[in-house]
Chains A and B, each alone.
Chain A
Amino acid sequence: AQKITQTQPGMFVQEKEAVTLDCTYDTSDPSYGLFWYKQPSSGEMIFLIYQGSYDQQNATEGRYSLNFQKARKSANLVISASQLGDSAMYFCAMRDPTGGFKTIFGAGTRLFVKA
């Protein structure tokens, strides 16, 4: 069965430092997509980054990068040069054909950026 696990309920980081948010996943399908979303206190979900299971290189989008370790079924999000506006909930998610192309979400990690 599909599963997404985020083991860090909360994380603190100093402004301008880098932070890694952990995510592990489980699926029996060789073809899948991994996503990270940001949810500020206002509630909307913002798509950050995508990694396909067959992509050879780790995905990057500005200050966001995805550390994809396929053998370990790990898809950690790295935020470089943290900003106060990065304080939010972050959700790891997965989508695969086994699940009918639905997306399942982890429980989330709340990130606090300190000034």
Chain B
Amino acid sequence: DGGITQSPKYLFRKEGQNVTLSCEQNLNHDAMYWYRQDPGQGLRLIYYSQIVNDFQKGDIAEGYSVSREKKESFPLTVTSAQKNPTAFYLCASSIVTAYGYTFGSGTRLTVV
């Protein structure tokens, strides 16, 4: 079955560490997205990519980095520059100008 796989489901980070969240899709979608969700709030866009080897900053890109070397993969690195990284992170993909997104099941990141 086609879909999006995010891993790990839960991730703990120590202060000052970089961590990478994985997102893989087998839907042959060109566009991929990373959103952050804080408790009781909506989703805010971190980064998005509409084509391999190209990506754009979203509304809250500071402290995050991404790469898009393969169509299927769009990993997100949460760097030590992100001062408040504890949140739920959702990856999504879509045909660039089509209807809704397909979302992964999310990664819950906690700073310890």
**CA–CA, A6 and B99, complex, Å:** 21
For chain B, the count of residues having a C-beta within 8 Å of the partner chain is 27
Pick the contact of B106 from A35, A44, A46 — CB < 8 Å? A44
B21 at the interface (CB under 8 A from A): no
Interchain CB contact under 8 A, A44 and B102: no
A91-115 interface bits toward B, Cβ cutoff 8 Å, 1 = contact, 0 = none: 1000000001111111110000000
Knowing A43-B105, A44-B105, A45-B90 touch, does A105 contact B42 (C-beta < 8 A)? yes
User: A33 contacts which chain B residues (CB < 8 A)?
Assistant: 99
Known: A47-B100, A50-B99. A42 touches B105 (CB 8 A): yes
Q: Is the C-beta of B58 less than 8 angstroms from some C-beta in chain A?
A: yes
Task: Please determine whether A102 and B103 come into contact, CB atoms closer than 8 angstroms.
Answer: no
How many of chain A's residues have a CB under 8 angstroms from any CB in B? 21
In the complex, are the beta carbons of B100 and A91 less than 8 A apart?
A: no
Q: For A45, give its contact among B48, B56, B97, B101 (CB under 8 Å).
A: B101
| Contact bitstring A30-74, B, C-beta under 8 A = 1, else 0 | 000101010000111111001000000000000000000000000
CB of A50 within 8 A of CB of B100, answer yes
Contact (A47, B42) CB under 8 Å given A100-B56, A102-B58: no
Partner among A46, A101, A105, A107 whose Cβ is within 8 Å of the Cβ of B96:
A101
Give the residues in chain B near A91, CB-CB below 8 Å: 42-43
Docked pose: A104 CA to B33 CA in angstroms? 12
**Which residues, 26 to 48 on B, are CB-close (under 8 Å) to A?**
31, 33, 35, 40-45, 48
Closest chain B residue to A36, Cβ basis? B100
Asked if A43 and B42 sit within 8 Å, CB to CB, the answer is no
B105 and chain A: residue at smallest CB distance:
A44
Q: Do A102 and B33 contact each other (CB < 8 Å), given the known contacts A43-B105, A45-B103?
A: yes
Q: Which residues of B contact A101 (CB under 8 A)?
A: 31, 50, 96-97
User: Known: A45-B90, A108-B41. Is A103-B101 also a contact (CB below 8 A)?
Assistant: yes
